[in-house]
Amino acid sequence: MSANNEIDYGTPASSSANQVTLEIDGHKVTVNAGSSVMRAAAEAGISIPKLCATDSLDPFGSCRMCLVQIEGARGYPASCTTPVAEGMKVCTQNDKLASIRRGIAELYISDHPLDCLTCAANGDCELQDTVGQVGLREVRYGFDGENHLDSEKDTSNPYFSFDPAKCIVCSRCVRACEEVQGTFALTIDGRGFDSKVSPGQNQPFMESECVSCGACVQACPTATLMEKSVIDNGVPEHSTITTCAYCGVGCSFKAEMKGEQLVRMVPDKNGQANHGHSCVKGRFAFGYATHKDRIITPMVREKISDPWREVSWEEAIGFAANKLKGIQAKYGKDSIGGITSSRCTNEETYLVQKLIRAGFGNNNVDTCARVCHSPTGYGLKSTFGESSGTQTFDSVMQSDVIMVIGANPTDGHPVFGSLMKRRLRQGAKLIVVDPRSIDLVSNSPHVKADYHLKLRPGTNVAVVTALAHVIVTEGLADEKFALERCDVESFGKWKTFVALPEHSPEAVAELTGVPAETMRAAARLYATGGNGAIYYGLGVTEHSQGSTTVIGIANLAMATGNIGRDGVGVNPLRGQNNVQGSCDMGSFPHEFVGYRHVSDSQTRMQFESAWGVTLSSEPGLRIPNMFGAAIDGSFKGLYVQGEDIAQSDPDITHVHHALRELECLVVQDIFLNETAKFAHVFLPGSSFLEKNGTFTNAERRISPVRKVMTPLGGKEDWEVTQDLSNALGYPMNYSHPSEIMDEIAALTPQFAGVSYEKIDEMGSIQWPCNDETPDGTPIMHADHFVRGKGRFMLTEYVATEERTSSKYPLILTTGRILSQYNVGAQTRRTENVAWHEEDRLELHPHDAEVLGISDGDWCGVKSRSGETVLRALITDRMQPGVVYTTFHFPHSGANVITTDNSDWATNCPEYKVTAVHVAKVAQPSAWQQEYQDFSDNQLSLLENRIAVNE
């Protein structure tokens, strides 16, 4: 349902460049050719009654409510399905039309419960509005005839209910599921009077193929599909546009409120990243924000074996500052550091790194991108000159060939996944490079990969180089582009390198597990199939050769000329809501804001003069180095904002060891997460609903985050960092995050033109935004690469040290699923657990048979790092020899097994390749039992905390 009086134009906008002028009710109206009469009227401010039409869906013409008269045309055509024509004369209202519409409304209402006053959609119902508009005054048929009023309500979905008694069978939900979401989980069961909306095979929603994206609820014009939060709380009274805090798609939402209470999140039709679509997380899983587990009072303790003590903000900040200062006095300036959060805003991230560089006086700052997309930063900076994706999401609608490497968009980036599926259904070709059969391969209706390169984990570089080999040796490269736009010498060297016989598909077929002919066909398709776009994810970066694969991908795009326009490009699907932003904001130990190296004295001088301090020219510690130094005894204090390193980082026993060695761990978070169980100071964080700021999504889009409620803990995150900085003796004095953004803009060429005023005006901005590109930059490298000439780099394949052996015969790879988000701190505290209540070990039926494992059995998974126990899920998505799990639950211990191997260039951990041994077991692993005890103990220390007033 469209919220708060937003105009619904009835049918989608036409993208035609030609204009047509027609006359509607005597008014001259000029619209794009291809528009419907309904849309043309709406654009002219004339509202034609409608039920089955909405501007997010193609016209359907089933309700017959929008009939009009057109001069010279026979009968009463539906205005939604009738395109405009030059000189057309339309009448939208006369006695005859009024009578027909009343007759139709009468039929609808004769089979509709008349409980408007007690209906959840009262005041927000299109049926109610339309019937009011047509002036229905009586129902001559009575209400005694056959009807659907006793239909059973389906409340199986935790977030919305389905009440067929209120359904008018307009098919908007069915069409939304198909056109917008691409899941096709709904249909019309039966025909004629028996027609009814049916999930799956007339099943309850939860048993059907529904993924709970909310598109159907959004499309429903009545209370048939209704958010339970609205049923419980009533229709919201005001709304604020903000940005989702889950993944890197960065969907724009309206937070619909009653006072300070969030009633529902409604995807914003004008959102440039999501165009009114959403997924189960952003749309529904916001309950965590006010969950009872939120910790809203600061706490401190001397030792992690002590119970927590609630204190005032002042005391907590003072406690942390004293500890950190004391550590620096005792162990030296470099003995402390901090970690910025990709979950927090740009402004907050900027402030944390500023506190560390200027307040701590060192460069020991890092961010979770270290463990996800740091190779993207390195690889794309080295080749193109900028550490970011090259396109907008919308660019995919111009792609002819889409190559997805090591990414699972329908689970990880669902809203973009839906857009990609829409393009694929229009006929774009698809190449999937992934060890698993992800849904895009063949499990999405009407979408099928043309080629699935089901490679062995860890062989990405060999596959990408083999694709390059085919392109070069078969003469498929776009020489003109490469010679004009790229560094000619590097192109020459690269061609010679990839053409070597050892890089041919035939030479690497056995190593990679991909048939040579499949690699050849995929390479030919990418190089010659029109606009070729590459989308990749953590399956590319989280390897010992993550950076090399990113470089290899950039090489492919440059060699085929697939850079610099719509429909092409290299697109990292960045994980966290603000991982792009946290990298942009100088979160890495070697870079200031805008990816400028700390050793560059000109940049450093600029920051020194702005910040009024002397800055170190030495890169600081990366996260893994911080752990190492903590264990060595040289690193003693850490400030972690909104990141759960004790769950998300690899080789977790090593991480826990390091955390225990710290003398002061300050955690700022909304929950007592796993990391906080090792902390000495807990500073309550604020959720995305409680603060102002900006997030930057995977397409470099800076979108506004707006405060809709008072922070439960009393402070927005940036205020806490500011207080800590002041207590440490480095003064900060911002009164609003917009001032922080102004400082960022003043110090960073890519952001020079960014301001809150501009974001408010434009909705969102894609950086670079400066004097040259005042409205931002949707497509990068359009006329020339940021670094001048694109640079080809050689991609020698070096096998990971992590190999299978008789002791560890299987390869474990890790990933994510749709309903849970990363460490799960948020989604585990929502009803999303209904879809995924535990992490499972996926394995191929063949391996399961050999190991004597049945579906649901407990499996011990052992690597050289550690051992954990997970329940088995047997599926032919896997290939024999490869097992898979997620790490959304702390006690799964997926990261007990992952190793300390990492990317050669950036230390990004090799989460995707761990040699393991799997066997059926009866009980949790020793680690799980120990950790359970530790965790229970920490929770009791929290439970028994000494209250602030005692």
Partner 1 sequence: MQDYQTQKPTVLEILNTHQAMPGNLLPILHGIQDTLGYIPPAAVVDIAKALNLSQAEVHGVISFYHYFRETPPGEHTIRICRAESCQAMNGKALETHVKQQLGIDFHETTADGIFSLEPVYCLGNCACSPSITIDDEVMGRVTTEKFDRLLATYKGAK
Residue 749 contacts residue 596 (beta carbons within 8 Å): no
**Least distance (Å) from partner 1 to the CB of residue 199?**
7
Only one of the segments 40-48, 319-327, 446-454, 543-551 lies at the binding site for partner 1 (rule: CB under 8 A); that segment is 446-454
Q: Residue type at 506?
A: E
3-state secondary structure of 106: helix
Tokens of residue 757, six digits? 């005023």
Choose which of 16, 30, 322, 442 interacts with partner 1 (CB under 8 A). Answer: 442
Which strands sit side by side in the sheet containing 19-24, from one edge to the other? 27-32, 19-24, 89-91, 69-70
Choose which of 307, 332, 445, 774 interacts with partner 1 (CB under 8 A). Answer: 445
Choose which of 30, 201, 312, 929 interacts with partner 1 (CB under 8 A). Answer: 201
Choose which of 89, 228, 325, 448 interacts with partner 1 (CB under 8 A). Answer: 448
Beta strands in 120-194 (DSSP E): 160-162, 186-189
Choose which of 185, 467, 681, 882 interacts with partner 1 (CB under 8 A). Answer: 185
Examine residue 450 and tell whether it contacts partner 1 (CB under 8 A): no
Examine residue 209 and tell whether it contacts partner 1 (CB under 8 A): yes
Examine residue 198 and tell whether it contacts partner 1 (CB under 8 A): yes
Examine residue 206 and tell whether it contacts partner 1 (CB under 8 A): no
Examine residue 875 and tell whether it contacts partner 1 (CB under 8 A): no
Examine residue 183 and tell whether it contacts partner 1 (CB under 8 A): yes
Largest CA distance in the chain: 91
- Per DSSP, helices labelled H in 529-559 are 538-541, 546-559
User: Of 186 and 251, which CB lies nearer to partner 1 in the complex structure?
Assistant: 186
Only one of the segments 192-200, 716-724, 726-734, 796-804 lies at the binding site for partner 1 (rule: CB under 8 A); that segment is 192-200
Q: Distance between CA atoms of 649 and 624, rounded to whole angstroms?
A: 9
**Least distance (Å) from partner 1 to the CB of residue 877?**
13
**Least distance (Å) from partner 1 to the CB of residue 606?**
56
Q: Distance between CA atoms of 240 and 696, rounded to whole angstroms?
A: 19
Examine residue 660 and tell whether it contacts partner 1 (CB under 8 A): no
User: Of 201 and 601, which CB lies nearer to partner 1 in the complex structure?
Assistant: 201
Choose which of 189, 394, 739, 831 interacts with partner 1 (CB under 8 A). Answer: 189
In angstroms, the Cα distances linking 744 to 50, 586, 737, 763, 810 are 48, 10, 11, 19, 48
Q: Enumerate residues 6+ apart whose C-beta is below 8 A from 197.
A: 162, 164, 167, 169, 171, 173, 174, 186, 187, 188, 189, 224
Task: Provide DSSP, 180-243.
Answer: II----EEEESSGGG-EEEETTT--GGGSS----SHHHHH-SSSSEEEHHHHHH----EEEEEE
**Least distance (Å) from partner 1 to the CB of residue 444?**
8
Q: Are strands 19-24 and 27-32 parallel, antiparallel or unpaired?
A: antiparallel
User: Of 93 and 156, which CB lies nearer to partner 1 in the complex structure?
Assistant: 156
Examine residue 188 and tell whether it contacts partner 1 (CB under 8 A): yes
In angstroms, the Cα distances linking 107 to 100, 122, 126, 402 are 11, 20, 16, 47
In angstroms, the Cα distances linking 842 to 540, 807, 819 are 20, 20, 17
Examine residue 418 and tell whether it contacts partner 1 (CB under 8 A): no
Print the binding letters for residues 139-178 with partner 1: x by CB under 8 A, - otherwise. ----------------------------------------
Examine residue 446 and tell whether it contacts partner 1 (CB under 8 A): yes
Q: Distance between CA atoms of 193 and 305, rounded to whole angstroms?
A: 68
Only one of the segments 185-193, 265-273, 519-527, 922-930 lies at the binding site for partner 1 (rule: CB under 8 A); that segment is 185-193
Only one of the segments 144-152, 202-210, 346-354, 622-630 lies at the binding site for partner 1 (rule: CB under 8 A); that segment is 202-210
Examine residue 191 and tell whether it contacts partner 1 (CB under 8 A): yes
Summary count for the chain: helices (H), strands (E): 31, 34
User: Of 431 and 705, which CB lies nearer to partner 1 in the complex structure?
Assistant: 431
Examine residue 634 and tell whether it contacts partner 1 (CB under 8 A): no
**Least distance (Å) from partner 1 to the CB of residue 447?**
7
Choose which of 90, 119, 186, 740 interacts with partner 1 (CB under 8 A). Answer: 186
Region 574-633 residues binding partner 1, contact defined as CB under 8 A: none
Dihedral (CA of 779, 784, 788, 792) sign:
positive
Examine residue 831 and tell whether it contacts partner 1 (CB under 8 A): no
- For partner 1 (CB under 8 A), the number of binding residues is 21
In angstroms, the Cα distances linking 290 to 209, 230, 294, 583, 641 are 30, 17, 7, 29, 19
User: Of 198 and 773, which CB lies nearer to partner 1 in the complex structure?
Assistant: 198
Region 16-75 residues binding partner 1, contact defined as CB under 8 A: none
Choose which of 99, 202, 312, 601 interacts with partner 1 (CB under 8 A). Answer: 202
**Least distance (Å) from partner 1 to the CB of residue 511?**
31
How many residues are there in the chain? Answer: 950
Examine residue 447 and tell whether it contacts partner 1 (CB under 8 A): yes
H-helix or E-strand spanning residue 310: strand 309-310
Specify the DSSP class assigned to residue 679.
-
**Least distance (Å) from partner 1 to the CB of residue 793?**
39
3-state secondary structure of 929: helix
Examine residue 200 and tell whether it contacts partner 1 (CB under 8 A): yes
Examine residue 325 and tell whether it contacts partner 1 (CB under 8 A): no
Task: Provide DSSP, 349-409.
Answer: HHHHHHIIIIII-S--EEEGGGGTTHHHHHHHHHHTSSSS--S-GGGGGG-SEEEEES--H
Phi-psi region of 97 (alpha: psi -120 to 50; beta: other; left: phi over 0): alpha
**Least distance (Å) from partner 1 to the CB of residue 211?**
11
In angstroms, the Cα distances linking 883 to 823, 848, 872, 874 are 20, 10, 10, 10
Neighbours of 202 (CB within 10 A): 12
User: Of 70 and 185, which CB lies nearer to partner 1 in the complex structure?
Assistant: 185
Only one of the segments 181-189, 225-233, 656-664, 870-878 lies at the binding site for partner 1 (rule: CB under 8 A); that segment is 181-189
Q: Distance between CA atoms of 159 and 835, rounded to whole angstroms?
A: 12
User: Of 164 and 200, which CB lies nearer to partner 1 in the complex structure?
Assistant: 200
CA nearest 639: which of 343, 825, 366, 851? 366
**Least distance (Å) from partner 1 to the CB of residue 631?**
51
User: Of 424 and 557, which CB lies nearer to partner 1 in the complex structure?
Assistant: 424
Examine residue 876 and tell whether it contacts partner 1 (CB under 8 A): no
- For partner 1, the binding residues (CB under 8 A) are 183-191, 198-202, 208-209, 442, 445-448
